[in-house]
Structure 1
Amino acid sequence: MAVSYKSEMSLLDFEERELLRSTHHPYISELDRGTLEDRRGLLRDLRDKEKGFARQKQRESSGKAEPRGKRFPGTIARPYQRKQAFASAIKRLNREIRRHEVFEAKTAHGEAARHALELRRAQQFPERPEQKTADEGLRPLPSRRTRRILPGSQIGSVSQQNKRHQARKDKRS
């Protein structure tokens, strides 16, 4: 179930609010990938801490554990909701990091495709070394014809055609 922004912020102290605010829409798109990953690590630590508080509180309420510590932080009142707020922030960060990864992959694929096209064009128009002559006479011009690439289905088709015609001719006589 989704939690509203205001109720999420009411559960947190100032530093946590600032951290979670940066995971919401207008602010998250301004962050670079390294910052996103750093914040994800911080949020995971906070979530795990809240998970521990929630588990301890549950054990205390069921009578399986003694209350631990003399004093808990003031924000310990609702550890499940706080854990949920941190978990949803981690999900938002994961989606944004994934979006960055996809964008970087598309960029890399585009660069690889452009490089492959350059290689192919260079192969179609091979550069010939300039020919040196003994004197300043005529210089041969390099050929401007493109290299013809035959599909594999055409290679050997002429000789096969000749074999068939010869077989028909031999069959008639």
Structure 2
Amino acid sequence: MAISRKQEERLLTEEEWHLVQQSHHPAVQQLNDADLTKLLKQVRDRRNRAQTEAHRQTRELRGKAAAKGAEPVRKDVGTRGKLEILAMSMRRLNGEHARRQKMHGKVQLIENMRAALALKQSAKVERDEAYNSRHAHAGMRAIESKRYKSLVRPAERGRLRSAAAVAQAKRDSRSAAG
């Protein structure tokens, strides 16, 4: 269920409320990576503390634990609400962190692919310089294969071939019997 920012402000302390406000959409994208990691750690600590308190209060309500304060707890709605708000904040921050990691990974992959392409192209240029130097005493130039290497594992190819043979045998036995 959606919780309004007004309800968040009512259920949280002022410091927690400021942390949760930074986890909402426009503000979270303006944080740099170091601040995001720091905020994630702070919100996780607050959430864990609220979770511990909520579990303790639940045990008190059920009569499984002694009261922590002077009077036993009558209800734990506020603590459960706080826990829910902090958990949603954690989900938003974890999502943003994962999004940034994925984006960084894609950028790294593109950079690595460009570097590999540059290495491959420079290797071809070096090989092609001595194009007319084919002599018997120096050996022949290697001619690259134009066939593509199959990406299917040989074991997988064999498994599929065997499965097709078994299926064909079943069909043949059904038609011979009927």
Figure out how many residues of one structure are paired with residues of the other and give that number: 135
Greater relative contact order structure (CA < 8 Å, 6+ sep):
1
Instruction: Give the TM-score normalised by the residue count of structure 1.
Output: 0.68
Instruction: Give the TM-score normalised by the residue count of structure 2.
Output: 0.66
User: Which residue of structure 1 lines up, in the alignment, with residue 66 of structure 2?
Assistant: 66
1:18 equivalent to 2:14? Answer no
User: Which residue of structure 2 lines up, in the alignment, with residue 95 of structure 1?
Assistant: 95
| Percent of matched pairs sharing the same residue | 28
User: Could you tell me which amino acid in structure 2 is paired with residue 151 of structure 1?
Assistant: K
Name the structure with the higher helix share: 2
Larger radius of gyration: 1
User: Which residue of structure 2 lines up, in the alignment, with residue 84 of structure 1?
Assistant: 84
- For residues 91 and 12 of structure 2, what CA distance do their matches in structure 1 show? 18
Q: Give the alignment of 1:20-169 within 5 angstroms.
A: 20-70=20-70, 78-126=78-126, 149-152=144-147
Structure-2 change in CA distance of 1:66 and 1:93 (3 Å): same
User: Which residue of structure 2 lines up, in the alignment, with residue 137 of structure 1?
Assistant: none
- For residues 79 and 143 of structure 1, what CA distance do their matches in structure 2 show? 77
Structure-2 change in CA distance of 1:70 and 1:33 (3 Å): farther
User: Which residue of structure 2 lines up, in the alignment, with residue 6 of structure 1?
Assistant: 6
- For residues 29 and 86 of structure 1, what CA distance do their matches in structure 2 show? 18
Most deviating of 94-103 and 118-127 = 118-127
Residue 4 of structure 1 and its aligned partner are, at CA, apart by 2.1
User: Could you tell me which amino acid in structure 2 is paired with residue 46 of structure 1?
Assistant: R
User: Which residue of structure 2 lines up, in the alignment, with residue 159 of structure 1?
Assistant: none
Residue 77 of structure 1 and its aligned partner are, at CA, apart by 6.4
Segments of structure 2 that go 5 or more residues without pairing to the other structure are 133-140, 149-178
